[in-house]
Structure 1
Amino acid sequence: MAFIDMPMEELQVYLGSSPRPNDFEEYWDRALAELEELPDRVELSPAPFKASFARCDDLFFTGVGGARVHAKLLRPIDTPPARSPALLQFHGYSMSSGDWSEKLGYVAAGFVVAALDCRGQGGLSEDAGSVRGNTLHGHIIRGAEDDPEKLLYRQIFLDTVQLARFVMNLEEVDAARVGVKGASQGGALSLACAALEPRIRKVVSIYPFLSDYRRAWELDPDHTAYLELKEYFRRFDPTHAREADLFMRLGYVDVQNLAHKIEGEVLMATGLSDDVCPPSTQFAAYNRITAAKQMEIYPDFGHEDLPGIEDTAFRFLADLIDPEWPDGAGGRCTDRRRV
């Protein structure tokens, strides 16, 4: 293996090194209560993309701070008599919700699919929040020098919950059969969404980002994912006088601190040679999940395409269509090493 930051026996018990604020639960209780006060401003309009078996719409809603948030919404045209399962998709850091055609396989299988554009990244969602302090080199530190309520990932995590609740309330969706899926930042958002909206039944999180920030920084990342932490200290706190305060503040939006709230079944995947989101940071979240879970391990792979993981994810999510799906639903395949 080209890279591993801990032996496997240590990874399997590692619980992270980043702090958890004392008022963490109250912080997220207040955040979720804020959603209840938001105006119900949802707009649906037909998308220019067409498919013979899918209705494709652009969805806009008003998120916290007044931002207009966009998602792609795809629904099967021929809906069954019973309500349909749904899948929420979250994208990687700086990217977008992707092409419409990428989602058609799940629609053809019977899913309603909603794919979020994260605020201020590659899609159509706004970054409407104004914050004090530096916003250089990324979204982790955006708001870190302001009130903790201004942390950008707090707003993005809440956007995932709003999207989940909107989809669950659709007439054609069975709210008890909703899953989430994503890789890297999308993997982190899948964990956060399932933690904050406990009705999420299935969670696919591939090499999740946004976990155990102190550990990621201690490994001295030179890649763009966590580079902003290093750059923050170099430019704005060169003697690390405020180091403890920074990591405590980031603890509010650290997915390892949310993981214990997840109630749905979780499938995670990691490459042990990942030098972008180090394996230990991912295990810090995985080991805190108390719900049913499994981890697919790719010893010789890094932060890249993991062969077969999309098929594994589909079989895992297929329980939401039919527990008797052919070829073994519920992620029960055994073609790779698993924790």
Structure 2
Amino acid sequence: MAQFDLPLDELRAYRATHEAPADFDDFWLTTLAAAREKGWETRVEPVDNGLAIVASSDVTFAGFAGDPIRAWWHRPADREPIGVVVEFLGYSGGRGLPHQQGTWPLAGYAHLLVDSRGQGYGQQWPGATADPHGSGGSAAPGQMTRGIEDPETYYYRRLYTDAALALDVARGLAGTGVPLFVAGISQGGGLTIAAAALDALAGRGAIAGALPDVPFLCDFPRATTLVAIHPYGEIVTYLAAFRDRVDQTFRTLSYFDGVHLAARAQAPALFSAALMDEVCPPSTVFGAYNAWPSDDKAIEVYPFNGHEGGGVYHRAAQLEWLRARVG
């Protein structure tokens, strides 16, 4: 593994050249409105996680098409939370079991850990949310090409909608006046961008900050011609078989590109990029970061790391960044 992408000074100036579809905003506003019409009351059931300092509840809420989406709601057991972190998961990961804890509740935050529909097949973090919708046609193994024939049927239309609606759920659970943050690594980073952007596009309310960590799902045209390992490699595999679907495929992907979504976000943001990352190439991350319009943004760069990014060092940077925003 070596640094294979643009030099860092060029990354800091890099801008993706492809444009969002003319009906991008209408597509997402219509999608979100239709999903909210099918909403129902969120179910919250306390569970025994076997832990003394973190309390947990099993949450089920209405996602895309009213489908049930599962999540864990963790919070400090002995004090009011200082903020809420809504976290989205990496590719193939699920919400796991209630005793599997991250840093957030230990640092004083309530933590909504949102399952990814149709995923959760990673052995360490099993999922609990099905995707009841068909793929729409031919697809390569994995999720990246499910329903890719049309934006209406694409898998990530459902997953992005679930992510946006999860912010509504977190606000309802936390109550007013508690700062809300969104976070995630890899696919979770892409969902962080999508949730923050769609929330702003729909005018739902201010987000205190977004933490996209080595985000996936950004700058599809560059990513799929720069690397061929999975998950972007699933698209490469698909197009290698269906040679006549290139334009159709990238038209669909343009509605889900983190670069176009980032341009619609409003919250402060802390990104990360790793210069040896062959899963989410650094130029694709910088494409989204440079499109993010907020003046209050920063990106941590890890020159000698792959897709693991900054790891525990970056989590320390995130904790410091959040602490400055909750006083």
Q: Distance in 1 between matches of 2:71 and 2:236?
A: 32
The aligned residue for residue 3 of structure 1 is: 3
The C-alpha deviation readout for 1:10-49, integer Å capped at 9, x for no partner, is 2122222444211111111111212320231422222341
The C-alpha deviation readout for 1:124-175, integer Å capped at 9, x for no partner, is 11111124212322222211114x22221111111111111111022x4445
Matched, 1:304 2:308: yes
The aligned residue for residue 142 of structure 1 is: 146
Cα shift at 1:5: 1.3
Matched, 1:192 2:199: no
Cα shift at 1:61: 1.5
Q: Distance in 2 between matches of 1:178 and 1:133?
A: 38
The aligned residue for residue 118 of structure 2 is: 120
Give the 3 Å change call, closer, same or farther, for CA 177–203 of structure 1 in structure 2: same
Which stretches in structure 2 are left out of the alignment for 5+ residues?
A: 121-126, 201-205
Which stretches in structure 1 are left out of the alignment for 5+ residues?
A: 324-339
Matched, 1:179 2:181: yes
Q: Distance in 1 between matches of 2:97 and 2:55?
A: 15
Q: Structure 1 length normalisation: TM-score? A: 0.86
Q: Structure 2 length normalisation: TM-score? A: 0.89
Percent identity over the alignment is: 32
The C-alpha deviation readout for 1:206-252, integer Å capped at 9, x for no partner, is 1100011111111141x2121111111122x23xx331221111110
**Pairs within 5 Å for 1:94-105:** 94-98=92-96, 100-103=98-101, 105=103
* SS of match in other structure, 1:51: coil
**What is the alpha-carbon root mean square deviation over aligned residues?**
2.0
The aligned residue for residue 293 of structure 1 is: 297
**Pairs within 5 Å for 1:84-103:** 84-98=82-96, 100-103=98-101
Q: Distance in 2 between matches of 1:115 and 1:242?
A: 36
Q: Distance in 1 between matches of 2:301 and 2:179?
A: 27
- The one-letter code of the counterpart of 2:324 is D
Matched, 1:28 2:32: no
The aligned residue for residue 233 of structure 1 is: 239
- The one-letter code of the counterpart of 2:238 is Y
Q: Distance in 1 between matches of 2:287 and 2:179?
A: 27
- The one-letter code of the counterpart of 2:265 is I
Give the number of aligned pairs.
314
Is the Cα contact below 8 Å between 1:168 and 1:175 reproduced in 2?
Answer: no
**Pairs within 5 Å for 1:311-330:** 311-321=316-326, 323=327
Cα shift at 1:117: 0.8
Q: Which moved more, 1:193-202 or 1:15-24?
A: 15-24
**Pairs within 5 Å for 1:154-165:** 154-165=157-168
